[in-house]
Structure 1
Amino acid sequence: MDGDALPPGYPHEWEADVVLRDGSVGHVRPILPQDADRVRRFHAGQSAESIYLRFFAPLKELSEKDIHRFTEVDYVDRVALVVTHREEIIGIGRYDMISPTSAEVAFNISDHYQGRGIGSVLLEHLADIGRDAGLTSFEAEVLPQNHRMLAVFADAGYAVSRRVEDGVVVVHFDIEPTEKSESVRLAREHRAESLSISGLLAPQVLAVIGAGRTPGSAGHEILRHLLDGGFTGQLYAVNPTAEEILGVETHPRVAAIPAQVNVAVVAVPAASVLEVVDDCAQAGVHAVVIVSAGFAEKGKEGQRLERRLLRLARDSGMRIVGPNSFGIINTALSMNASLAPQRIPAGHFGLFAQSGPLGIAVLQSAGRRGLGLSSFASAGNRLDVSGNDLMQYWIDDDQTHGVGLYLESMGNPRKFSRIARRLAMAKAVIVVKSGVSRHGAPPGHRVRETEVDPAAFTAMLRQAGVVHVDTIHQMFDAAQVLIYQPEPPGDRVAIVGNSVQLSALTAQAAESAGLRIAHGPSSVDAEAPLDQFRKKLQKAFADPGVDSVVVTFTPPLIGREEEAIAIIGEVAAGSEKTCVATMIGTRGIADGPPLTVEVPTDDGRAPRKLPLYTTPEDAIRALGHATRYAAWRRKEKGELLSRAGVVKVGAQEIVDAALAAEPGGLMLPHEEARKLLATYGIDLWPRVRVTSADEAVAAAEEVGFPVVVKSLSPMVRGQATLQGVRLDLPNGDAVREAYDSLEDRLAAYDRAAYVVQRMAHPGVSCVVAGTEDHLFGPVVSFAIAGLAHDLLHDVAYRIPPLTDVDVDELISEIKAAPLLTGYKGAPPVDRLALADVVGRLSMLSDDLPELASIVLNPVIAHPAGVDVLGAEVVLAPPAKRKDIRRRALT
């Protein structure tokens, strides 16, 4: 973009980088007055047919009046976006309001970039901008022969109506998202990002830039690893001072290579990277893997260099892995474009790591276990390509049956959650991450700070079906079961061994992991013949009440171990039940990590691998992960919440008016909070603030007896022993006495904040809350009010949008949940009514990023329904969410 001053009201938040249909990247931004020459060049490059289809006339040149009208917009009633490649315009989309709720849209896509989905991207972005401005529908006039543009509207997922007027097709559709339009948007995002990573991991032509003659240097070693691995594509080296390196043809720059390079691995000093990447951009390289260090991890100058690097790549349509990356691997192509010297066996486990040192540890561990990999990527500073991108690719990759991600930071948890959920429906997703905080991100990683409880991150993973582990060791333990064993159909286990003590310890570990002992523990004598052990195993596998079998074996003599493994493998191979085994003694911890042993089958099926562990605890933990993941896959996921009774436009008007009066943010007064909640179908009870006993009596007569009088002072409410409330007051005298007693009791505290409210039904007092977090976006929580919430932090979390099942699980997850279902003879509360309030608050939090926080407290749940008695609603200027309803790389 030119360095000229931006016009007033320029909406920076509309800028976005988007992966297009062919896997390249386009930059979306609002149009500018200084785009005049770009628009002229764009128009001059269009065919006569394209010009006629857009303008309904053969306009060879645009007049100055046209140029001014196209480039001078107010970003309110007249909005225009452009998509650029290397700062040249390749697509234009605009709308002009024709009523307070409707606008006319028009698009013009470069002939040279047709078929890349640019029109669909512009429509998505314009619709989202229009909805934020209060628009509800779009219209467009299209010539009947303009099949491409008609297809853009028809394929968007909206309910489109058409009529013909004077030989022109007038298209009309509502732009409120529908289930179909959301499905279309996400499917397009998935296809584009999957294809983008496919181009990265499956190059036909690869160049190593900075490959030198000196062994040990990064470029030299990566080139050698590619050669040693037998890379099946074309391989080139870039070095201006050599003709060949390790027998590989060498060129002075990428542009000089006679073939079209798909991927370039960059191993030059940081100061030279920008020039090299620019050379790659001019040569049309799809992606660059930057192993060079010395960027954001080194300080502000490195951060500035990274920003320039990202902008250059995005403007040129390229993807970046790194900088400070350990490299990439694709065993299907025998491609080891990484710093890992060992040859990684081919397999079905996809791996993603961020930093180089951890990439080394992850690959070494996978190699020692014989757990073959399908593909691997190290993001380094995660400037561009992230774990989210890799998951999009793994969804489609037939070679990958399960994935592991070692995450040191997370840039977009909401997008991670929805992609991981889709991937986890078909393939296990195992994540190593202790949590998300501003203290956990390595130097160089671009992350936002988060203020939510770490439990929210764990809940997000569980909500998405992710297997969450603490260490690399545990990740591979779980992968051995999840990839190479049948999925456990339930939690019933059999325990078979040759040590009574060890079997008992294994049973204790299984119960602690939430597994049920359905068979055994059953043991043979340590000196018993192996045939007896075989019969015990066969009996366990034949038991119809068993879902998984855990085998523990301690060989009494050297040489019996391999025989035992063969017997376990043989029996397990003849069954569809999950099996894990622990070998104690001769195969101890000192001998290295657990192994997977290949077990042939007699029926022609692919060999099955039997996971072997060094301790029963490791085996049980891995089986527990597999069992819970299988249960998540089987369970109903529910439906998105009904929006009946939701008036988003009304809520937005209330919020906009409040922030217009207080631009810096504010807490809504009780009556304004009532109006806001009412737009989403939540009935907040009225209350009257009073400052004297006489006012309290008058207020009680207004709201109707019986009533409560309570203090709103934070000092009082934070001290359970102060008892700043008087309940069930039947008449004026009781109200007066209650008010006076509170005044006397709270004399040493802030007494001037009392309210009178109608007495609610007896029930369970709950807290339902929503928080707008800088990293996560909206986070919804639920708890039982009082000590469980305030002192014990017994709180459950979920990330919207929620399904009805998500809401039910949110309510049930807290330890105090039995209070809602009839604890010790109390009547159960109306769960449907409580779920309705929780669901409506989740939709409100999801829809309005201006809601910095909203706390409903108390929410009294009782057998006849739910009473919402209190609400604190804090508004603030909205921060830009990481995952919005339009495609964007973040």
Structure 2
Amino acid sequence: MKSYPAQWEADVVLRDGGTAHLRPIVPEDADALQRFHKAQSPESVYLRFFAPMPELPPRELQRFVTVDYSDRVAFILLVGEEIIGVGRYDRLDAVSAEVAFNIADAHQGRGIGSILLEHLAAAALENGITVFTAEVLPQNRSMLQVFAAAGYAVSREFDDGVVAVRFEIDPTDKSMQVTAAREHRAESLSVRQILHPRSVVVIGASRKRHSTGNLLVRNLSSAGFTGTLTIVHPEADSIAGLPTVRSLEELTEPADLAVIAVPAEAVSGVVRDCAAHGVRAVVVVSSGFAETGEEGRELQREVVATARMHGMRLVGPNSFGIANTAADVALNASLSPFFPEAGTLGLFSQSGALGTALLARATQLGLGISTFVSAGNRADLSGNDVLQYWEEDPATSAVGLYLESIGNPRKFSRIARRVSRVKPVVVVKSDLTGQELPPGHQVRLSGLEERASSALDEIFTQAGVIRADSTRQLFDVAQVLTSQPLPAGRRLGIVGNSAAVATLLAQGARAEGLDVSVPPVSLHPEVQADEFAQALAEMFDRDDVDSVIVSFTPSAGASESEIAAALSELAATSEKTTVACFSGVQGVREELTAFVADAEGGRASRSVPSYFGPEEAVWSLARTVDYAMWRAEDHGRYPELEGIDRRRARTVVAEALEAADDGPVLLGPAETRELISAYGLSALPLVTTATVDEALEAADRLGYPVAIKAVNKRLRHRMELGGVRLNIETPEELRDDYQQVQELVGEYAEPGGPRGIDVQQMAPPGIPCVIRAGEDPLLGPIVSFSLAGDTTELVGDIAHRVAPLTDVDAASMIRSVKSAPRLFGYKGLPVANVAPLEDLLLRVSALVDDVPSIADLEIHPVVATPADAHLLSVRVVLRQSHDRIDSGRRRLA
């Protein structure tokens, strides 16, 4: 029997936003399982067992709790110590198993069956099972619906009063879409419950005015929270002028949200007490957890486990708090003395200190926010969760995130790419590599090492995310995104009263990729308001302008307020994106705000954001244009690739890992050919030889001309060192070249290192390229493309994307590297047919996405010719541990 698979344990978010803990069943669960069974209604028992069974017989009970984690697997879902659902499979033959589920009556309708099915399917695939069957009574509509809605191709047969269900559990596009949609709904709702509480309880408030808890109470009160505010204090009758209760026992009904500000060592007990009294979520502002060291880290794990086990989401610990400016909520459960006006920018911060700065900056600029979340140590609620909420939040039109670390970049990319299609996402990321983490933040380190920064940057671009280098840049671009329509193109018009400023704006705009083909309008310094307004109107009326930058330097002519009034009125009725450079007006201010009729016949405000300097104005507008162009693009589709045999590939990998010891596993030539052929790929025949006679025999079999390459990694691909010889056309030439390469191998070989020499049929002349892919510990399955050569590696001219790739992703990767012109006829080179390269990228992407055990797959080189692409060398390294942090089954990090 396999040992207990701890990696299968998971905290999950249910359909209604609550949480539960999922784990494999163990014999010690017998009593809890019996209690679960006895609590079920007779109808539920009959639907599960097709017969009355008030109590599980001892023999059956032991059979249910004793599994081998291979042929027989069972998962239980727990809230506290209570089992709320059981799912199991029993193997029928080599590839199929029968599944069965039992959901607690009180918890039906929470999506438990779907979660159990996802985790059972993932475990079954690990054990070589690819088909599930089930026998269901026709009246058990809820279970039939679980199977029907899972996204698999389900077949049904009715026989002898029972519905027999059968389906393959290999993930399909539809099943993955279903899983993502369910994850989105659950996580979005769990965040909504936190940000829209009807009742809040503060635990740990002190009578000392400058204490954390006291400040929380005062901020909640002064913001005018519309719900019920309760303060728990064991002794004081009032805090900050508000009455208190002695304990949670005195609550007349469970609170939606608890804000906790007690010492770190007491937090776990308070969270447990909240769970016992039905609190739905907690915000922990207390510090003293993972940021303090290993002891604090263990304490943090205990707090999070307690919250999740009892169905609660947790913000923090070490959180700065949360806020919601909606009039019907008015929640400021934060430590910030600033409470910005209501607006449409959603803000997320991991750092508490930066949280203060973000809210202060928003207030200074007059930039309203919708909601604010400070995740602190991000032990539970993360930026990914809040993105799920903001995607459909009607009060949020743009999103700003300050990220000190990204625990699950692959999931972030997946969610952000979806969110960016409907609203812009701006990210300030302080450390792209994950190498310099703030105290308390735990993430896996990237395997891309020095390439991690550029790789994650390209992943942001792939997802349509706007990258800001500072919080100032975040707010600079947010001003445009929340106040102006998106531009239709890159064509820019400039109007101002300073030729010098106009020149700076035009030069900066061209450097940022904007089209300044329309000559800037530079009026004289003493221009009057009517003359300036006329020039503005003419610029707004032009069909060859998509956006406008207006600068004004006060002088003896019109006042800044007169120009601002004219600009705001004209910009409010225009569909052109407009920004301003007014030294006396910064941010989103009343001076540059006008009102226009909205779709419902009312009046809506439209503001022109103003910047102190031309650089900020140009940068902000350029990033807005880049985002608008990304959003308008066709992002492609995930093509149905022919000739894919996932089962065969998984078998090759499983057998190779089973036969090897712990540690990386280098696939042999035969296994490599088998693996890539399962995804419709093949390399030119290659024979590894040890003597010249073996090389001559191989060349005769392959056919001249041939190439020879040293297996030694220091010489392989290094023609300048003599480790590669091409276009060998005769046996005599082969003998001579082989002897020379053998001598080099002797010089470079390490003790016990490989000394073989590969003989391979020559590929047609073309452009050598390199494709690498594999499971990065931090970023997930990454695919990279470059042209071959030292120069490419030295200057980092490599494109990276997260798998899976769309057809547009594959095409853009090839064209995004700076050396791409060599593929398209640069200086008389033949034009390569890149369609086979694109297909190759898509197939490699699918392979590493499907098989997380692939740590590194390198095709070096693949030669692109005018007709085709030829794979010359393929190297595959497997990893024994492949616990993907964004796997096909839903779970919290």
Aligned to 1:789: 792
Structure-2 residue corresponding to 1:650: 648
Task: Tell me the residue number matched to 2:375.
Answer: 379
TM-superposed deviation, 1:35: 0.5
Partner of 2:46: 52
Secondary structure in 2 aligned to 1:715?
Answer: coil
In the aligned structure 1, how far is the partner of 2:591 from the partner of 2:790? 51
Give, in whole Å, the separation in 1 of the partners of 2:254 and 2:660. Answer: 57
1:626 aligned to 2:629? Answer: no
How far apart in 2 are the matches of 1:392 and 1:511? 36
| Distance change in 2, residues 1:60/1:594 (3 Å) | closer
Match of 2:495 in 1: 496
Moved more, 634-643 or 375-384: 634-643
- In the alignment, what sits opposite 2:465? 466
- Aligned residues: CA RMSD: 1.7
User: How far apart, in 1, do the equivalents of 2:474 and 2:590 lie?
Assistant: 14
Contact kept in structure 1, 2:745 and 2:755, CA below 8 Å? no
Is this contact kept in 2: 1:495–1:503, CA < 8 A? Answer: yes
Q: Does 1:254 align with 2:248?
A: yes
SS of equivalent to 1:833? helix
Report the Cα distance in structure 2 between the residues aligned to 1:723 and 1:504, rounded to whole angstroms.
Answer: 54
* CA distances 1:395-416 after superposition (whole Å, capped 9, x unpaired): 1211011110000001011111
Describe the shift of the 1:558–1:70 C-alpha distance in structure 2 as closer, same or farther (beyond 3 A).
Answer: farther
> Displacement, 1:699?
1.5
Cα displacement (A) at 1:20: 0.3
1:762 aligns with 2:758: no
Distance in 2 between residues matched to 1:51 and 1:801, nearest whole Å:
43
Structure 1 window deviating more from structure 2 (720-729 vs 259-268): it is: 720-729
* Partner residue, 2:564: 565
Distance 2:527 2:338 in 1: 42
Alpha-carbon distance in 2 for matches of 1:602, 1:747: 80
Aligned equivalents of 1:682 and 1:302: distance in 2? 50
Aligned positions of 1:434-473 closer than 5 A: 434-452=430-448, 453=451, 454-473=453-472
The aligned residue for residue 392 of structure 2 is 396
1:376-404 per-position Cα deviation (integer Å, ceiling 9, x unaligned): 01000111000011111111211011110
> Residue 87 of structure 1 corresponds to which residue in structure 2?
81
Q: Which runs of 5+ in 2 are unaligned?
A: none
Matched with 1:637 is 635
Segment drifting more, 554-563 vs 573-582: 554-563
Matching residue of 1:122? 116
Quote the residue 1:606 is aligned against: 604
1:836-863: CA deviations, max 9, x gaps?
1111111111111111111100100111
Q: Deviations over 1:138-191 (max 9, x none)?
A: 111111111211111122222222211111111222222222222221111111
Shift of 1:789: 2.5
One-letter amino acid matched to 2:66: E
Residue 869 of structure 1, aligned match among 868, 872, 880: 872
C-alpha separation in 2, matches of 1:114 and 1:258: 26
1:815 to 810, 814, 818: 818
User: More displaced, 548-557 or 367-376?
Assistant: 548-557
Which moves more between the two structures, 110-119 or 125-134? 125-134
Cα offset, 1:249, TM superposition: 3.0
- The count of corresponding residues between Structure 1 and Structure 2 is 879
**Distance in 2 of aligned mates of 1:766 and 1:719:** 14
Q: Distance in 2 between matches of 1:99 and 1:719?
A: 51
Q: Structure 2: how far apart are the matches of 1:537 and 1:421? A: 36
Which of 842, 854, 866 aligns to 1:851? It is 854
Matching of residue 518 in structure 1 with residue 517 in structure 2: yes
Match of 1:830 among 830, 833, 854: 833
1:224-251 per-residue CA deviation (whole Å, 9 max, x = no partner) reads: 1111110000000010011222343311
> Match for 2:867: what amino acid?
A
| Residues 431 and 468 in structure 1, CA contact (< 8 A), matched pair in contact too | yes
| Aligned twin of 1:3 | none
TM-superposed CA distance for 1:643, in Å, is 3.1
CA separation of 1:597 and 1:807: change in aligned 2, threshold 3 A: farther
Alpha-carbon shift at residue 136 of structure 1 (Å): 2.2
Q: How far apart, CA to CA, are the structure 2 residues paired with 1:187 and 1:778?
A: 21
* Whole-angstrom distance in 2 between the partners of 1:570 and 1:140: 67
Contact 1:235 1:248 in 2 (8 A): no
**Which amino acid in the other structure matches residue 281 of structure 2?**
A
After superposition, residues 347-366 of structure 1 pair within 5 angstroms as 347-366=343-362
Letter aligned with residue 300 of structure 1: E
Structure 2 CA distance for aligned equivalents of residues 692 and 98 of structure 1: 51
Determine if the alignment matches structure 1 residue 803 to structure 2 residue 797.
no
1:4 aligns with none
What letter is aligned with 2:176?
Answer: E
1:191 to 173, 181, 185: 185
Cα shift readout 1:199-237 (whole Å, capped 9, x = no counterpart): 100000101111121101111111111111100000000
- Structure 1 stretches lacking a partner, 5+ long: 1-6
- Assess if the C-alpha contact under 8 Å between 2:712 and 2:745 holds in 1: no
CA, structure 1 residues 497+57, in 2 after alignment: closer, same or farther (shift >3 Å)?
A: same
2:244 match: secondary structure:
strand
Q: 1:162 aligns with which of 137, 150, 156?
A: 156
1:519/1:78 CA distance change after superposition, 3 Å: same
Q: CA deviation at 1:835?
A: 0.7
* TM-score normalised according to structure 2 size: 0.96
Q: CA deviation at 1:50?
A: 0.9
- Range moving further from structure 2, 632-641 or 404-413: 632-641
Q: Work out the CA distance in 2 between the residues paired with 1:343 and 1:654.
A: 58
Report the CA distance between 1:597 and its aligned residue: 5.0
Shift of 1:743: 4.2
Q: Counterparts of 2:220 and 2:261 in 1: how far apart (Å)?
A: 14
8 Å CA contact 1:480–1:596 kept in 2: the answer is no
Are 2:269 and 1:270 equivalent residues in the alignment? no
- Whole-angstrom CA distance in 1 between matches of 2:842 and 2:337: 52
What SS does the aligned partner of 2:714 have? Answer: helix
* 1:623 alignment partner, SS class: helix
Aligned match of 2:417: 421
CA contact 1:281–1:313 (8 Å) conserved in 2: yes
Query: How much has 1:670 moved relative to structure 2?
Result: 2.4
- 1:135 corresponding residue in structure 2: 129
* 2:240 is the alignment partner of 1:242: no
Structure 1 residue 746, shift from structure 2 partner: 6.5
**Matched letter for residue 462 of structure 1:** T
Letter in 2 for 1:830: N
Q: Which moved more, 1:548-557 or 1:614-623?
A: 548-557
What is the match of residue 551 of structure 1? 550
In the alignment, what sits opposite 1:409? Answer: 405
Contact 2:785 2:799 in 1 (8 A): yes
How far apart in 2 are the matches of 1:75 and 1:666? 25
Q: Return the letter of the residue paired with 2:608.
A: L
| DSSP 3-state at the match of 2:92 | strand
CA distance in 1, matches of 2:161, 2:743: 82
Which deviates more, 155-164 or 359-368? 155-164
Counterpart CA distance in 2 for 1:796 and 1:293 is 41
1:882 counterpart (868, 885, 890): 885
Which runs of structure 2 are paired with 1:65-76 in the superposition (5 Å)? Answer: 65-76=59-70
Give the conservation status (yes or no) of the 8 Å contact 1:436–1:450. Answer: no
- Counterpart CA distance in 2 for 1:752 and 1:142 is 62
Aligned to 1:342: 338
C-alpha contact 1:707 1:728 (8 A) present in aligned 2: yes
**Secondary structure at the counterpart of residue 890 of structure 2:** coil
Is the 2:529–2:558 contact (alpha carbons within 8 Å) kept by the matching residues of 1? no
SS of match in other structure, 1:644: coil
Q: Would the aligned equivalents of 1:855 and 1:873 in 2 still touch at CA under 8 Å?
A: yes
Q: Determine the C-alpha separation between the residues in 1 that align with 2:129 and 2:746.
A: 54
Shift of 1:307: 1.0
User: Equivalent residue for 1:579?
Assistant: 578
How far 1:348 moved relative to its partner?
A: 0.5
| Equivalence for 2:9 | 15
Partners of 2:360 and 2:619 in 1: CA distance: 22
